[in-house]
Each structure stands twice: as C-alpha cells, then as structure tokens.
Amino acid sequence: MLATVALVVGLAGAASAQTPKPHASEVLLGLGGMCWEARLPEVVTDTHCFSVARNGHLVMDVHKVRSRSGGVVYEGVTLYRFEEAGGAIRYDYYTSNGGLLSGYVRRDGQTLLFSDAPGGAVTTVWTLTADAYEVETTGSKDQKRRFVKRGVAEPGGF
C-alpha cells in the first residue's frame, strides 16, 4: 500500500515538473481560422488561409498567389506542429514546384520569429496587429509585405 502511494506521488510530481508543450495555435494566435491577403505589383494577390486542428496542436496555412487573370500561379501548404526533438514549433512548407522548406517559429509578444533551428538566428519576422501582419526577411532589401485580414478561412483541409 505504501509503495502504491509513493508511486502515485512520484508520478504526480514528475508530471507537474514537465514543461508544458506549446500548441501551434498558441504560437500563431490571431491567425487561425482567417485568410490574409497582400496586394503585389507583379501579381494581383498573395493569400494565406490558416486552419486549426487537433485541439490546436496543428495549424495549416494554405498559400496561393494569383495572377491578374485570377489563376493560381503558385501555391503551397505549411504545417505547423510541436516537434518533440527540437522542443519547439516546427513548420514544413510544401511548395507547388515540389520543394520543401522547414524551420521553427517562436512568439515574442506580437512578433513571430522564424529560424532554421530551435532558438536559432532569426531569418524572418512577422509583426502582428489585430487586422494585419507584416513580413520582413532579415538581411533582405525587399520591402515588408503587409497581409490584411480578408475573412474567414474555408472549413476543411484537415
């Protein structure tokens, strides 16, 4: 009986000592369930629509770039999830031309910091507001790209 009590107390202590794993939806808070659009001079729109699944454990971003005629000229899908090995939110971006870009994202207030490794040097910064977010690539001379909230993401994807 005493051994059972010790085991239960030990397990409870071990569970409370574990660091909670962040959900992808917590890190990407404010983006989920919405579509965001940037207007570009060379194409008409650059759109990202974010869906949340598995109680916030997964976030999917469907990315579409449309030409002036309205046709999709480029697209991709990003999956965000907690990665046990890295102890951080990992993303995998699958491009329409067969490419795969992977990395990590962490949140600092209203800023999302993207890097190649957990806690690594920041490569891209997203600055969030209630109705928009701006994307800036570190070391790039390109202008920031501003995505404005355009409406609710269509259900599905998961």
| Dihedrals phi, psi of 88, to nearest 5 degrees | -150, 170
- For residue 59, is pLDDT > 60? yes
The structure's pTM equals 0.83
The enclosing H or E element of 17 equals helix 2-17
Percent of the chain with pLDDT over 70: 87
Long-range contacts for 11-20 (Cβ within 8 Å, ≥24 apart)?
none
- Beta-carbon contacts of 142 under 8 Å, excluding residues fewer than 6 positions away, are none
CA–CA distance, 7 with 26 (Å, rounded to integer): 33
Looking at residues 67-87, what average pLDDT do you find? Answer: 94
Look up the CATH superfamily of 21-152. Calycin beta-barrel core domain (2.40.128.20)
Looking at residues 16-23, what average pLDDT do you find? Answer: 73
More confident of the two residues 10 and 117: 117
Return the domain boundaries, the chain. 21-152
Looking at residues 90-98, what average pLDDT do you find? Answer: 97
pLDDT of residue 123: 96
